[in-house]
């Protein structure tokens, strides 16, 4: 039995990871440590809340005492650090909390793990720490000269991609905080031999994503016949990663990735934002048969400050070393995602009304 301490496990990717691991492996225990900010939603985990292999701990990754206590009590073999402030627009409005949570929270996690895992002889046993990072640390790529109608490069062989060796060049306060966190993780590995590995993923989508992010926002607004706000000309390109594919990559890198290394996760699902919005309109109108869901809902709004133009990942290293590749093409993943949102109106209603925040009180306060 291996124990995973997962931080931010009530968030979008973290909760998908908890569900994925418990589904995939019989011999794992998961301890989910989450501060339950606006983005943390324990309703994502109702299906496992009574599973004896799962434990929730309400704690902040910046809290030395609380984190040391969780580690002492549960003795995790692996720590996977998902917890973060994750929304770029919020970081532009309020950068301080991003430095606090993403940088200082990560440093606290590293300190607590290092103290608990140090065997006194300069080693850390078989423990492993994985930092969940982002492709945004690499900055922005130019749109290639020739693109397909969906925004993907027409000549992928001769196109620039983010590689693990690409210089770090963050632009937003969010990506600056994630870059700093990655550099602390690297420094702990290089200085103390701390057993850490870093993954950097592209834009995730799938079930349980908070509807402030592009895909769930568009699905939600389309269903309600609300405007679909698209930044600028809509030609910014992101490399879309279905969340289960990401969870699989984290599982593989946590177990078999080389310590001290970075692994890019994503790849070859580059699509322009306007294409994303149009495919969502087409699919939602097909499923609901609602003629009011149409491209007339699209509304171009003033571009985000410092908006990166294109992200595109080359996942060659993780493919060559661990055999991982992104299994879900965007066109398949988006259909699954839209169906999930349509099949779970209660989840959407609770999130959009704020009712999800009472869930912890109801379910856990008296436990």
Q: Is 136 one of the catalytic residues?
A: yes
Other beta carbons within 10 angstroms of residue 220's beta carbon come to: 18
Q: Is 139 in the site for ligand NAD (CB under 6 A)?
A: no
* CA dihedral of residues 342, 55, 248, 171 (deg, nearest 10): 80
The nearest distance, CB 60 to ligand NAD, in angstroms, is 4
CA angle 273, 341, 241 (to 5 degrees): 45
Residues 151-190: x where in contact with ligand NAD by CB under 6 A, - otherwise, as a string: ---------------------------x------------
20 given a catalytic annotation: no
Angle, helices 105-117/64-74, rounded to nearest 10 degrees: 40
Query: Interface with ligand NAD includes 13 (CB under 6 A)?
Result: yes
Alpha carbons within 13 A on the beta-carbon side of 93 = 6
Q: Which stretch binds ligand NAD (CB under 6 A): 2-10, 68-76, 156-164, 187-195?
A: 2-10
Under the criterion CB under 6 A, does residue 203 sit at the interface with ligand NAD?
A: yes
Q: Give 99 or 322: the residue with its C-beta nearer to ligand NAD.
A: 99
**Contacts to ligand NAD from residues 89-108, by CB under 6 A:** 101, 105
CB 324 within 8 A of CB 252: yes
Nearer to ligand NAD, 196 or 293 (CB): 196
* Longest distance between any two alpha carbons in the chain, whole Å: 69
Q: What single DSSP character describes residue 51? A: -
Look up 321 and say whether it is catalytic: no
Pick the piece of the chain touching ligand NAD (CB under 6 A) from 28-36, 228-236, 333-341, 355-363. Answer: 28-36
The binder of ligand NAD chosen from 4, 7, 114, 328 (CB under 6 A) = 7
Show Cβ contacts of residue 110 under 8 Å, excluding neighbours closer than 6 positions.
129, 184, 185, 188, 194, 196
Site for ligand NAD in 272-291 (CB under 6 A): none
Among 18, 22, 32, 37, binds ligand NAD (CB under 6 A): 37
Residue 47 CB partners (closer than 8 Å, separation 6+): 19
Closest approach of Cβ 176 to ligand NAD, in Å?
Answer: 12
134 binds ligand NAD (CB under 6 A): yes
Torsional class of 266: left (φ above 0), alpha (ψ -120 to 50), beta (otherwise): left
Binding status of residue 312 toward ligand NAD by CB under 6 A: no
Alpha helices (runs of H) in 59-172, residue ranges in sequence order? 64-74, 88-93, 96-98, 105-117
Give how many residues touch ligand NAD by CB under 6 A. Answer: 29
Question: Site residues (CB under 6 A) for ligand NAD?
Answer: 7-8, 10-14, 34-37, 39-40, 60-62, 82-84, 86, 101, 105, 132, 134, 178, 201, 203-204, 210
């Amino acid at each position: 039995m291996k124990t995973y301490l997962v931080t931010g496990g009530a968030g979008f990717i973290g909760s998908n990871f908890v569900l994925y691991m418990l589904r995939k492996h019989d011999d794992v225990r998961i301890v989910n440590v989450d501060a339950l900010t606006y983005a943390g939603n324990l309703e994502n985990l109702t299906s496992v809340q009574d599973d004896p292999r799962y434990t929730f701990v309400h704690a902040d990754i910046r809290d030395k005492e609380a984190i040391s206590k969780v580690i002492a009590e549960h003795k995790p073999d692996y720590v996977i650090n998902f917890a973060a402030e994750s929304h770029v627009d919020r970081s532009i409005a309020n950068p301080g909390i991003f430095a606090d949570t993403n940088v200082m929270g990560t440093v606290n996690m590293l300190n607590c793990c290092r103290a608990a895992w140090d065997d006194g002889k300069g080693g850390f046993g078989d423990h492993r720490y994985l930092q969940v990072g982002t492709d945004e640390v690499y900055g922005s790529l130019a749109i290639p000269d020739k693109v397909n109608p969906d925004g993907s490069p027409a000549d992928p062989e001769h196109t620039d991609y983010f590689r693990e060796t690409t210089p770090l060049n963050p632009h937003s306060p969010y990506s600056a905080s994630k870059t700093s966190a990655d550099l602390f993780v690297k420094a702990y590995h290089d200085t103390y031999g701390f057993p850490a590995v870093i993954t950097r993923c592209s834009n995730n989508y799938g079930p349980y994503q908070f509807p402030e992010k592009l895909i769930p926002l568009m699905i939600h607004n389309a269903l309600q016949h609300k405007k679909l706000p698209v930044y600028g000309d809509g030609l910014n390109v992101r490399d879309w990663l279905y969340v289960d594919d990401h969870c699989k990559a984290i599982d593989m890198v946590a177990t078999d990735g080389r310590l001290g290394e970075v692994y890019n996760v994503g790849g070859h699902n580059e699509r322009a934002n306007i294409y994303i919005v149009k495919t969502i309109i087409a699919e939602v109108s097909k499923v609901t048969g609602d003629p009011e869901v149409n491209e007339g809902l699209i509304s171009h709004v003033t571009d985000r400050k410092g908006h990166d133009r294109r992200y595109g990942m080359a996942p060659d290293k993780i493919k060559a070393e661990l055999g991982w590749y992104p299994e879900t093409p965007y066109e398949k993943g988006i259909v699954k995602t839209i169906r999930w949102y349509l099949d779970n109106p209660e989840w959407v209603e609770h999130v959009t009304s704020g009712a999800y925040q009472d869930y912890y009180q109801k379910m856990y306060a008296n436990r």
